[in-house]
Amino acid sequence: MAKMFITGESVEALSGETYEVRNPANGEVVDTVPKGNADDARRAIDAAAAAFDEWSHTTTEERARLLFKAAELVDGERKALAELLTKEQGKPLMEAGGELEHFHHGIEFYAGLASKVRGAQVPLPAKNAYGMVIRKPLGVCGAIVPWNFPITLMGTKVGPALAAGNTVVVKPASTTPLTTIRIIELMNQAGIPKGVLNVITGPGGVVGEELLVNPQVRRIAFTGESATGKHVAAVACGDFKRVTLELGGSDPMIVCDDADIQKAITGAMVGRFWNAGQACLAVKRLFVFDQVYDEFVNGLVSKVSRYEVGDGMSKAEKPKIRMGPLHTAAQRDEIEAQVKDAIDRGAKVLLGGARPEGAQYEKGNYYLPTILTDVAEDARAVREETFGPLLPIFRVGSLDEAIEKANQSIYGLGSSIWTKNLDNIETAIDRIEAGNVWVNSLHYGYDELPFGGVKASGFGREHGPEALDYYLEPKGVVITR
């Protein structure tokens, strides 16, 4: 049985209650974890609050050293952690390994930046006086992490938070706590002082809610769906907690007539079907220029046909590529409903559109990679976020039309344009309403660049040196001699 990790110790819930974590590929129990409640959350918050003063006064060099060491210890167990992640989350082992790699890079990135945080010395107009801008950590940070990328999305919060001198309480998704618990344990083994980094498990409505309402928590970093994000913002802003929200998206990808079609096909395929489509940042609406539409769509269908759904623990035989199950039955129900809605409104199914058949699929939440065309613009698959292996394709006559349609969404997370034409590129960079634009590139979140959404996709940024700004409070100081 896995346990929570509070004040450097593995602990059970105060109530003694537990719940099961199940494998989405076969419904089997992977392990059990404590079913924490508000009291458990308070215990973790108190521990983080008690650890804050000392931790926030350690040298940046010491924090960097511990983060590097933590990254190294986690990396030493990469294989076992990737397997655990596949079992609880469902993603193929190769993708789980990639996720751990990304986590490792992210932690090292902020370890390296710990000693580069700077404020300023400011000459003032007053006589014999000068100003300073000093930057102080906030205090206890709550990190609420979703189930689609449990590890990288935890790292994007824990890395900058700890480097800046904050203490953290991590709340993993109810369905994916196991790898997180082990990683937090390893990071603590690296020598991070007790209480600085804690993890609590249990229902979001209880444990997560305590993080939102507890006045000792000064900052909430949330990644999840937009509806929950609204609730988080409403509650956490009630006592002026600092909040960043990484929410849903419906990323448009625009393929112009001069695009490198083969590269664009690969970009669409990986961009949509990575993690079985369960990614905030993913190609969710594809706009293809008329002139290259047929070539592109035929090529994409043939390439996506290479996916073979199955248990992430087993490799597909080349040239097949493994795609795992959806994470939960509810997740699959929603995708099925979105597909049905599109078909009811006249969409054609070019590929997939159903569960795979066969006894080996019966116990998992499997769904075939699905491509739809002739999708009505009021279909749910267009208006809503589709969090699964479902891609609607639209034919467009011009860039203006593509951008107009791309922007007809409440979301604004990622976007991409595929063209060699500089005018088209500049127009897209300038006009697409999104936090990120990729030009001839896969939608990939680089550590180097700030990442976050506009409109209903979120608030604030993770990644890049910018993320540190959200974990440090500037303080103005005037000194008159």
d(CA 200, CA 183): 13
Residue 127 touches another protein, criterion: CB under 8 A: no
Of 12-20, 42-50, 115-123, 210-218, the segment contacting another protein by CB under 8 A is 115-123
The answer to whether 168 touches 137, Cβ cutoff 8 Å, is no
Residue 295 touches another protein, criterion: CB under 8 A: no
The answer to whether 2 touches 181, Cβ cutoff 8 Å, is yes
Of 29-37, 75-83, 374-382, 422-430, the segment contacting another protein by CB under 8 A is 422-430
Least spacing, CB of residue 70 vs another protein, in Å: 15
Peptide bond into 319 cis (omega under 30): yes
Residue 247 touches another protein, criterion: CB under 8 A: no
Half-sphere exposure of 421 (CA within 13 A, CB side): 13
Quote the DSSP letter at residue 462.
B
Least spacing, CB of residue 298 vs another protein, in Å: 32
Of 106-114, 193-201, 247-255, 296-304, the segment contacting another protein by CB under 8 A is 106-114
d(CA 137, CA 119): 12
Q: 338 Cβ partners below 8 Å, 6+ apart? A: 379, 380, 381, 384, 386, 388, 390
Residue 114 touches another protein, criterion: CB under 8 A: yes
d(CA 478, CA 133): 9
CB nearer another protein, residue 165 or residue 195 = 165
Number of residues that bind another protein (CB under 8 A): 23
Of 105-113, 309-317, 350-358, 404-412, the segment contacting another protein by CB under 8 A is 105-113
Q: What is the pattern of x (binds another protein, CB under 8 A) and - over residues 447-466?
A: xx----------------x-
Quote the DSSP letter at residue 258.
T
Least spacing, CB of residue 177 vs another protein, in Å: 30
Residue 481 touches another protein, criterion: CB under 8 A: yes
Q: What is the Cα 109 distance to its own chain's centre?
A: 17
Catalytically active residues, by annotation? 246, 280
Helix (H, G, I), strand (E, B) or coil at 342: helix
Which residues of the chain form contacts with another protein (CB under 8 A)?
60, 64, 105, 109, 111-116, 118, 128, 130, 423, 426-427, 430-431, 447-448, 465, 479, 481
